[in-house]
Amino acid sequence: MKLVYLSWFVFICISAIATAQNKVLTPEIMHAIPKIGSPALSPDGKWVAYTRSDYDQEKNESSSKIMLRRVQSGDSKPWVEKGSSPQWYDKTTLYYLLKEDDHTNIYAIDTAGQVRQVTAGEHTIKMFGLSPDRSKLWVVMDVQFPRLIEDFNQDIPHTKGAKLYDGLMARHWTSWYDFNHQHVFIADLGDNPITSFKDIMEGELFDSPLKPFGSAGQIDIHPDNTYIAYTSKKLSGTEAAASTNSDIYLYNTNDGSTINVSQLNPGYDTYPTFTPDGEWLLWSSMATAGYEADKNRLILYNLESRRIFDLTRDFENGVSSIYCHPDPDKKLIYAIVGNRATYNIYTIDWSDKDNVDIQPLTNDRANYQSLSLASTDGDTYIVASRMSMGAPTELFTVDAFSGKDNRLTYDTDEVLADITMGKVEERNIETTDGLSMLTWVIYPPDFDPGKTYPTLLYCQGGPQSAVSQFFSYRWNFQLMAAQGYIVVAPNRRGLPTFGQAWNEDISGDWGGQAMTDLLTAIDEVSKESYVNERRLAAVGASFGGYSVFWLAGHHQGRFKAFISHCGVFNLESMYGSTEEIFFVNHDFGGPYWSDPKPKSYEAFSPHLYVQNWDTPILIIQNQLDYRVPLTQGLEAFTAAQLNQVPSRLLYFEDEGHWVNKAQNSILWNRVFFDWLDTYLKY
């Protein structure tokens, strides 16, 4: 009997310990967090509709519903059990997309719950928008053009898997070019469901919005319906692969003519927005041809005089997510601006175009992602989505004058109620060339400065993408910290939000100062007594994966383990197999056959230093990654194995550059932490 009692006592103690340990973030808990997005504020500012996506781990699928919340009282309820892309028609009626079988149409629901169909037929509507006066509707749908190979295989149908191309951009990010193009269509709204639309890009083998990540924000309609402004890169094949030259086009709804209003700019022009008075058009613009990470300028264009102004010419950082103040008399723009690894809301007063006043409205250690504005009775209402390293996305109200924010939604609380997050600390570390580098340090939830901890150097990708206050479902710092690791996440050279000079300092110098910055960060933090210098690892994806491969040949014994996800290994084979050639042209200095040969290929390619590899490395690579193709990881794994370096390859046949499927992500994390635990913890 004593043995039985003892067994129960041990069982209870183990259960208690397990319960305590479960109060930190795990991969399974992370994917149980509802994802909040697409806030849409009603015209009177009283209601906000937003999407909530929940993941069913057993079925390995997610479902999206539209929630309705009263802004003042905070009362919330599910409004549309299945739907996406909410947009208000008026203060009581919402439009949304609903997919049924193989078709997607637009539906309307009012606050009383009455539903009606807005479009009908065998459409697959991908996104939509409403004219300011609610008389017209624009939609984006795919248009199928004949495939080139169909000239050759009509009588041999079993070759249906074959593909034929006359130029580059045959594949892009995760898919092969299939001669489908997304076009903008327009129709009049009336009492009956819309069954047909006018294609304003008829016959064009180009896309709007830009594939694959362009959103509805790349299209806008004039207040009096005279024009539709849309974003398109009207280039194809090899020419498209080598250029970033997208433009803003104005389609005249009266005569069907189209003009290019940004044709003088050779770089990206995107996200057109008409001012409420209809006199001006705004858009985001990058000035440098072929440079995808150039400063995002804010361009102002007069529709009558065709004069162009750069509203951000004297502003250090780029702007995104442009929202005009709803009052036509106010020359005021709300935008999201990155500054020192955070993304906050700024106001841009352009009443004096020669002396534009750009000021922060919020100054939070957080990332604001999207805004929704409404104005009534002289008051302006703002609802914004916001996240931080310690908190997933929720909605907040933001005072339009003081910037004071208040949390509006609490959808993630149920999952995270008992979860303890680790402390996030901001450090400024001096680099070897005497500059200041902002570095985040994330500590385990139960951090004790009297103990020592294994520590991870996080190498950011991009290469030009800030280590900001993101709560990622792919590289989650809190998840790493919850497993008992300190995470060091430096904003090394070549990252935005620190001015354009810092951002540009990596182009043509991948293995230079940026790598020195990474080592400086981990060396500095390793001076702390609670960092176990004998248990350090470097991890990263994309350019971060390149960084890991580079450090593996140059770390001089600092690290005990490496993990590289979809990393660039061989610059020459990368140049010949990636799809957006403008990127490698800009960052590598051109093709490897140039004379003289660019320095990058002879000095900065990790494959040249594999003879120095001596540290265990986990390599992750995905079949559908056409940005950093599968062979990059396979080459690295082969090199590690033949050099007798302890190594492991994790491969996903159904993922691209990222691991997006939830069960794949859980598996990814299990392998990730198993590798770290093997070489760092025990």
Please give the positions annotated as active site. Answer: 542, 625, 657
DSSP conformation class of 354: T
Query: Residue 551: which of 560, 669, 638 has the closest Cα?
Result: 560
**Residue owning tokens 């909530």:** 52
Query: Six-digit token pair at 256?
Result: 């069907």
Q: What share of the chain is helix, strand, coil (3-state, %, to 5)?
A: 20, 35, 45
SS3 of residue 674 by DSSP: helix
CA distances (Å), origin 332, targets 349, 372, 477: 5, 15, 37
Where b means 16+ CB within 10 Å and e means fewer, 244-262 reads bbbbbbbbebeeeebeebb
Q: Are 439 and 428 in contact (CB under 8 A)?
A: yes
Q: Are 317 and 297 in contact (CB under 8 A)?
A: no
Calculate ∠ Cα 151-157-158, nearest 5°.
125
Is the Cα dihedral 83, 87, 92, 93 positive or negative?
Answer: negative
Sheet holding 127-130, edge to edge: 127-130, 136-144, 180-188, 198-199
Beta bridge partners of 260: 249
Contacts of 29 (CB under 8 A, 6+ apart): 415, 416, 419
Query: Cα–Cα distance between 356 and 333 in angstroms, integer?
Result: 11
Query: Cα–Cα distance between 493 and 514 in angstroms, integer?
Result: 5
Contacts of 477 (CB under 8 A, 6+ apart): 389, 422, 424, 440, 442, 458, 487, 489
**Residue owning tokens 């250090």:** 316
| HSE toward the beta carbon, residue 664, CA cutoff 13 A | 16
Q: At 92, which amino acid appears?
A: T
Per DSSP, which regions of 340-390 are E strands? Answer: 342-349, 357-360, 367-376, 379-388
Calculate ∠ Cα 211-510-680, nearest 5°.
100
